Structure 1
Amino acid sequence: MNYDTKFDSEKRIWSNVAPDRLFNPDKSIGGVALHMLRAQPPNAICQICDSEETELTYSKAYSYAVSVAAHLKGLGLGCDDVAGIVAYNTTLLMPVIVGCWVNGVAVNTMHPIYEEDVIRELFQVTKPKIIFCDGVCYEKVREATKMLNVPIYTLCNHFDGVKKVEEILLPVEGESMYGAEPLKHGANQTMAILPSSGTTGVPKLVCNSNHKLLVDFCLSNGSSVIFTFATAQWNTGISLMVVNILCGGTRIVTTKSYSPEYFLELIVKYKISMIFSSPVLVGALVDLPQCTQESLASIRILVITGGNATRSMQKRIRDKLTNGYLLNSYGTTEIGAISVNYSQEKAESVGRINIGSYVKVIDPVSGNLLGPNEKGEIWARVTGDWMGFYGNAAATAEMIDADGFINTGDIGYIDDECYMYLVDRSKDIMKYYNFHFSPTEIETTISLLPDVLDVCVFGVSDGNGMDLAAAAVVLKTGSTLTEDDIVKFVAEKNKVKHKQLNYGAFIVAEIARNVNSKVMRAEMKQICLNMESSKKRKI
């Protein structure tokens, strides 16, 4: 790939200009998908679902997509409508999404782990006219969407008396000649709506245009066996779905939860050749005693996403990845891929600017544009307009400047050889596996305890790219509340793992604040870690 980044010293912008595109962004991704599915050998395996023990051929994926498109058309749904999807990577998810795109319907995807209130609030914004969900989360989705009064179809784990997707997968007369609806709003028509990282409460809804989804991808080909644990609510999950459709090969999917042992089992069983995964998951994989060079011999491309792998982790991976390349990437939900590092020489870097991307570094105080080796806020844009947050013009305006650059929220710099480095986060963001969260959410939960006077939540790194939430808590005089009580209370209130106190709680005398009464998280973190260290020394 061409990562020939250039720095314009006059404009102070780094760029990697994209070549002419293979796919015309003015053509519907639904139409292109139908063409590419039709072009494959009909009995070739497009997708294998390990958990459901199913195989999906290209011809069957095409037929199912046409059936979904025809059903939506019969309901009168088109380019100004949205379909809601709350699902894991199941057998029928891909053809349902393609069917929506064929009819010009945008998909608003969510992870089934989302709480009922979050699903309700997000769907109140996008107002889907039809919803597809996994059976395991049907009751939650039904309760969250009562106000919409729209049909809900389960994709798997069906219930008696509940609509299931198979009911609409009916033969369509002349399906081999079925055509997609043309784009009503051009290349920038919204085709996917993905939740943001949700670092300040309920996630925002990021619009992904037809232009953004219909990308050229040169890392894959018809012989690739593709895998990621990421679901369609993340850029990685939906992008690899598109790669599978446009470039061919076989995509492995599963609804089973991650474990390093299961990850290795899948790689060996299916001879997976291309993987997109977070550093946490890959780090645990290569640290398994049974993970050897031989067991990873099938891998040709391993792309790190959703976090930066440390130098030591990269070395551990490369020591066992003898037949493939390790790529360390950086991007955001709003922008997509911003930079990629395929070099071992600058392992701390997130690489050079990705094809079709532009980056500038801004002093957060003065607003001045900075040059090489000067630290500031990273702003980026890609070819094609960013369509902003769905139904939230104010939040969109805060994120984007007049030139179309988006604030990533990260602090970093770019060196003399155009390699980018991230050094800090400009916002209070924590990450647990692929989920981002704000400390404020956990602080709000802890504050529900009557004995709590003050609280500060911070993250402690586990050394593999994950932030383990910890809380410093001030109690009322005479309170008998213990640190374990606080941890258990949060676990009971916040059912999702990433919003729990995975590092623990510390009872302190006061919370450190600056002159503006702002909590000093870094100082409180150090105070608590010193307390922990002192306890260990006494033991």
Structure 2
Amino acid sequence: MLLQRLHHRALSTRIFKSPLPPLEFPQKTTWQLIQEMDDHFHKPAVVCGVNHTTITFGELVDKVNAIATSLSERGIGKGDVVLTNSVNCIEYPLISQATTALGATLSPAPPLFRGDELAIQMKVANAKLVITHHTVQDAAKDAIAIAPIDKNRQFCIGPSDHFESFDNLFRPKSRVGDYPIPELDLFRDVSHLPYSSGTTGAPKGVKLSFYNMTANALQASTAEKMGSHALTVLPYYHIYMGTLLNTFLLQGTAQVALPKFDLELFLSSLERYKVEKVHIVPPIANYLAKDPAVDKYDLSATKALISAAAPMGEGLQEAIESRLGVTMKQAYGMTELSPFVNYSLDGNVKPGSSGTLIFNTELRVVCPEKGHDLGYNEKGELWYRGPQTMLGYYENEEATEATLTNCGFVKTGDIGYIDEDHHVYVVDRLKELIKYKGHQIAPAELEDVILSHPAVADVACIRGYDAQNEEVPKACIVLKDGQSLTTDEIMEYTNSRVAPLKRFDKLHF
């Protein structure tokens, strides 16, 4: 009987392991590793993509030490939460490393938050200090009126009549570097506290340890060598770019900070800095595949694009590769995983794949209905485990237990599969699947078909209901400027390219 139980357990749990050789991670923070990079001190570390102001690695170390000293003078130390509300700028990497130097916790908020939304994160995270940006300072002002913070702990990057200038942090009263070095438990102390909806529900604080951040930065750094310059067009507040920030620094790559996505600025920056590889998201990929402005710039230096944050269909991937002559690669992760778990390595790219499991990472593919593990090419919920796995949700044990298993796997809420070559494919979100007459339909698959139409700029496929209250696929479509398209035309185009069970009930322009 015991042997039968052991045999059943062996069959019921199937763990796929990374095909890459395991890495050994130093028990140090990213800041400690950066300070050891003496041979890079004369090289550019951070560049403003608007006015081209440059900070070298040596200057970065000096500025980070100055900021950390000033924050310490304001009472910030180990475990205290520093909340940022800022667009991308050259100051952001300095803030990130300064909080790490103090053993404090960085909680980044989206710059598009309204004041009431920002106040919620400030309250829930128990923020002790706020740093905003002059372009979004009104929201921070409104938030602080709701969730008060000491006046000497409110700073603004750029001009402000209300907040203390961030530049004052470069001029501490005591000697630069004279701040207490924290005694950290790298595996348990929280380095970053970004907010995520996870698989369901309202945003929750994701506790990422100092070890999580070091490990994932080194996992990504080993997976992808970026060249001399990288563009940070994706927002720093998002964990995708938050980890790449560390990755670029640890590689000695200069990161060119763009305050927001502007197609002309993005393209001119690629040309000016001869960026070899750039991280993007599918909406940017769509511009690169279709917008005529792309043809005005010399992008010959760019050899690869890496997309993450959402699945990209094979059609869009092929369109970019055909137009630009680049390799279009994908990666995958989520905030709860610091974020990277899959990565398409150079020379090992497959259409539609988010890559293989990154170093030291494990995967289970679990049947959503019955809960048993699945094998190769079988679609199920993706569960991941590795050194990048979160500690849990901040003060939310119920959500933690629902997402993090007892054996350390994060349930992603994403449906996908792994093939015999160890490539992982993300099909869709579990909660977004449309169940039509017993069949599960992935919105992303339908979106890829519609996006292939030359008149379509963007599309979102959603769950709708017919007269019998049965689920059916619906689509909301944005046309390119100057284009016209009737409902019948796009219905005919789409329905001729999908199986009958995936045909649309309604389309909206």
The whole-number CA distance in structure 2 between the counterparts of 1:272 and 1:180 is 39
Give 1:377-526 correspondences, 5 Å limit: 377-383=381-387, 385-428=389-432, 461=447, 463=451, 468=460, 513=469, 520=470, 522-523=471-472, 525=474
Give 1:49-448 correspondences, 5 Å limit: 49-146=48-145, 147-151=147-151, 152-170=153-171, 175=176, 181-197=181-197, 202-214=202-214, 215-216=217-218, 217-218=221-222, 223-255=227-259, 257-289=260-292, 291=294, 295-322=298-325, 325-335=327-337, 336-342=339-345, 346-383=350-387, 385-428=389-432
Q: 1:181 to 1:309 in 2, by over 3 A?
A: same
Q: 1:512 to 1:398 in 2, by over 3 A?
A: farther
How many residues align structurally? Answer: 453
Maintained 8 Å contact 1:13/1:358: yes
Q: Deviations over 1:98-142 (max 9, x none)?
A: 111100111000111122222121211111111101112222112
Structure having the higher helix fraction is: 2
TM-score by length of 2: 0.79
Q: CA deviation at 1:471?
A: 9.8
The whole-number CA distance in structure 1 between the counterparts of 2:56 and 2:423 is 42
The whole-number CA distance in structure 1 between the counterparts of 2:476 and 2:333 is 33
Maintained 8 Å contact 2:366/2:374: yes
What amino acid is aligned across from residue 123 of structure 2 in structure 1?
Answer: Q
- Partner in structure 1 of residue 480 of structure 2: none
Greater Cα shift, 222-231 or 276-285: 222-231
- Partner in structure 2 of residue 447 of structure 1: none
Q: CA deviation at 1:155?
A: 4.1
Please, which runs of 5 or more residues in structure 2 have no aligned partner?
1-9, 435-442, 478-485, 493-509
Maintained 8 Å contact 2:129/2:149: no
SS of the equivalent of 1:27 reads: coil
Maintained 8 Å contact 1:47/1:56: yes
- Partner in structure 2 of residue 440 of structure 1: none
Maintained 8 Å contact 1:410/1:426: yes
TM-score by length of 1: 0.75
- Partner in structure 1 of residue 15 of structure 2: 13
The whole-number CA distance in structure 1 between the counterparts of 2:491 and 2:422 is 45
The whole-number CA distance in structure 1 between the counterparts of 2:475 and 2:388 is 44
Q: Deviations over 1:14-66 (max 9, x none)?
A: 11177564651x32333223333x55234x22111122442222222222211
SS of the equivalent of 2:36 reads: helix
- Partner in structure 1 of residue 506 of structure 2: none
SS of the equivalent of 2:270 reads: helix
Please, which runs of 5 or more residues in structure 1 have no aligned partner?
1-7, 431-457, 473-507, 514-519
- Partner in structure 1 of residue 440 of structure 2: none
Q: 1:390 to 1:378 in 2, by over 3 A?
A: same
The whole-number CA distance in structure 1 between the counterparts of 2:222 and 2:59 is 26
The whole-number CA distance in structure 2 between the counterparts of 1:208 and 1:298 is 35
What amino acid is aligned across from residue 33 of structure 2 in structure 1?
Answer: V
The whole-number CA distance in structure 2 between the counterparts of 1:351 and 1:31 is 30
The whole-number CA distance in structure 1 between the counterparts of 2:294 and 2:158 is 33
SS of the equivalent of 1:88 reads: coil
% identity of equivalent residues: 21
- Partner in structure 1 of residue 481 of structure 2: none
Maintained 8 Å contact 1:260/1:288: no
The whole-number CA distance in structure 2 between the counterparts of 1:157 and 1:388 is 35
Q: 1:330 to 1:527 in 2, by over 3 A?
A: closer
Q: CA RMSD in A?
A: 3.5
The whole-number CA distance in structure 2 between the counterparts of 1:98 and 1:411 is 35
Q: Deviations over 1:203-236 (max 9, x none)?
A: 2221221112113212566952011322222122
SS of the equivalent of 1:244 reads: helix
The whole-number CA distance in structure 2 between the counterparts of 1:252 and 1:403 is 40
Q: 1:183 to 1:27 in 2, by over 3 A?
A: farther
Q: 1:295 to 1:188 in 2, by over 3 A?
A: farther
- Partner in structure 2 of residue 46 of structure 1: 45
- Partner in structure 2 of residue 34 of structure 1: 35
Q: 1:20 to 1:533 in 2, by over 3 A?
A: closer
What amino acid is aligned across from residue 430 of structure 2 in structure 1?
Answer: S
The whole-number CA distance in structure 2 between the counterparts of 1:73 and 1:101 is 12
Q: CA deviation at 1:201?
A: 5.6
- Partner in structure 2 of residue 516 of structure 1: none
The whole-number CA distance in structure 1 between the counterparts of 2:349 and 2:127 is 48
Maintained 8 Å contact 2:19/2:356: no
The whole-number CA distance in structure 1 between the counterparts of 2:222 and 2:179 is 27
Greater Cα shift, 99-108 or 231-240: 231-240
SS of the equivalent of 2:234 reads: coil
